[in-house]
Amino acid sequence: MDLNPSFLGIALRSLLAIDLWLSKKLGVCAGESSSWGSVRPLMKLLEISGHGIPWLLGTLYCLCRSDSWAGREVLMNLLFALLLDLLLVALIKGLVRRRRPAHNQMDMFVTLSVDKYSFPSGHATRAALMSRFILNHLVLAIPLRVLVVLWAFVLGLSRVMLGRHNVTDVAFGFFLGYMQYSIVDYCWLSPHNAPVLFLLRSQR
């Protein structure tokens, strides 16, 4: 019987301990009595900016109002990206079932059953996905491009500061969101490869 734990096991446990310790240290807005508790309302407002429901509703509204084929194509793919993000995040959360940090307050904006789990951060995946999408499909001046990247970074950081997630939840969320855009770009929907979707939209 081997009583010596493997090097890999020790490394993983050490990384997990560091992750939990660092996440708790950075959770400075986790409650009103926290060291940065006064900033909590601002962080919760930022939280809404990365929530899936406003993005979905905004995309559907713009899709209904769009009167150009190019605009519809971009918005159709944005909707596809958002739905893919929700599906993959829910699937991984259901499989991993990592609980949220103990210092988190469950006062989040519109939660679903899988939202009791922490890994990965859906806000972080959405931030990375949307920032790549926007930077690749909107012509923006350099200051606005910097603001988009800054929004994504600060949103991810705020998840740890609010105590919603551990650092690794956010880090993996950024990675997953980055890769999701690559999937959307590879499977890009257009009138040529998905004519039914655009035909239905044009008949409305």
Active centre residues (catalytic): 123, 165
In the DSSP assignment, the letter for residue 50 is: T
Query: How far is residue 22 from each of residues 31, 65, 129, 141, 182, measured CA to CA in Å?
Result: 17, 45, 25, 36, 30
Residues 6+ apart with CB under 8 A from 109: 44, 47, 48, 51
What's the rounded Cα separation, in Å, for the pair 172 and 76? 26
Helix (H, G, I), strand (E, B) or coil at 99: strand
Q: In the chain, how long is the greatest CA-to-CA distance?
A: 70
- Residue 117 phi/psi, 5° resolution? -95, 160
The structure tokens listed for 42 are 């601002």
Closest by CA to 52, choosing from 144, 124, 133, is 124
How far is the C-alpha of 71 from the C-alpha of 61, rounded, in Å? 12
